[in-house]
Amino acid sequence: MKSTIQLLLLAIALASLPTAALAEWQAVEKVEPYAVAGKSGPELYASIGERGPKAGIGRAIAYTDFKLTWRRKYEPQDGACTLVSARPKLIITYRLPKPAEKLPDATNRLWEKFSAGVRAHEKVHGEFIIDMVKAIEAATVGLSVPDDPECRKIRTEMTKRLSALSLAQRQKSRDFDRVELSNGGAVHQLILNLVNGR
Does residue 56 surpass a pLDDT of 80?
Answer: no
Report the candidate in 128, 127, 156, 124 with the shortest Cα–Cα distance to residue 140. Answer: 156
How confident is the model over 9-51, as pLDDT tens digits? 333 333 333 333 334 899 999 999 999 999 999 999 999 999 9
pTM (2 d.p.): 0.83
159 vs 143: CA distance, rounded Å: 12
Q: Which helix (H) or strand (E) holds 30?
A: strand 28-36
Q: How far is CA 84 from CA 44, 101, 110, 137, 154, in A?
A: 51, 52, 51, 11, 12
Q: How far is CA 100 from CA 33, 48, 51, 112, 183, in A?
A: 10, 12, 12, 14, 29
173 vs 126: CA distance, rounded Å: 10
What is the predicted pLDDT for the residue at 164?
92
Residue 2 belongs to some domain of the structure: no
Residue 15 belongs to some domain of the structure: no
How many domains does the structure of the chain reveal? 1
Residue 5 belongs to some domain of the structure: no
How confident is the model over 107-133, as pLDDT tens digits? 999 999 999 999 999 999 999 999 999
Residue 8 belongs to some domain of the structure: no
What is the residue range of 141's domain? Answer: 28-196
Residue 22 belongs to some domain of the structure: no
Read off the pLDDT band of 5 (50, 70, 90): very low
Residue 49 belongs to some domain of the structure: yes
Q: What value does the mean pLDDT take over residues 72-79?
A: 93
For the chain, give the percent of residues with pLDDT over 90. 81
What is the predicted pLDDT for the residue at 15?
39
Residue 9 belongs to some domain of the structure: no
Report the candidate in 76, 90, 60 with the shortest Cα–Cα distance to residue 148. Answer: 76
- 3-class DSSP state of 94: strand
Residue 155 belongs to some domain of the structure: yes
